[in-house]
Structure 1
Amino acid sequence: MVLRSDSELPEDEHLVPVPVAVERATGWRPTPSTAWRWAKKGARGHRLKTVDLGGRPASCVRWVNEFIQNTTEARDRC
C-alpha cells in the first residue's frame, strides 16, 4: 500500500474502491472518470484522500465525507 496523503488510515473504516466509498457515503455512485479525477486532481483545491491498492485508488467513507465537506466549504467561500 502506498499512502497518497499525509493522513493515517482510519482504524474503524474499510478501504474500498473510490466509487464504492462515494456510494456508501452519499447514496449515488460517480462515474469512474469522476472518481479518478477527485483522487488525482481534486476539486476546488481539495483532493480525495486515497491509498493505492493494486494500482487503483481506494478510499473510505470518512475520507469521502471530509472531501465533500471541504469542497462544499470552498464553494461557499466564493
Structure 2
Amino acid sequence: MLNFEENYEVCNCKKVTIRDITNAIINQKASTLREIQDFTSAGTECRHCILSEGDFGKMKKKNYCKDILNEVKKGLENG
C-alpha cells in the first residue's frame, strides 16, 4: 500500500486501518467499496476516505479504501 504500514489509519472517523480493510477483502471476501463499508464501517461517516474524487476534507488523505481494494484485488489475481 504505497509504503504505508498496516496500522496506518485510513478512516479516521471509525479508526479503520489498512490491515482492517485488507482483512475484509481477503478473509471476508469484500469485493466492492460497499462491502468494505459493511465489514469495517470505513467511509460511513464523513466518506472522505473512500476515494480521492470524494475527498473534500481540508487535509487530503494519502491512501483511500478504493486504492487498497484495487491493489489487494490485483495482488490476489496475480497470485
Which band: TM-score by shorter chain? 0.3 to 0.5
Please, what TM-score do these two structures have when normalized by structure 1?
Answer: 0.33
Please, what TM-score do these two structures have when normalized by structure 2?
Answer: 0.32
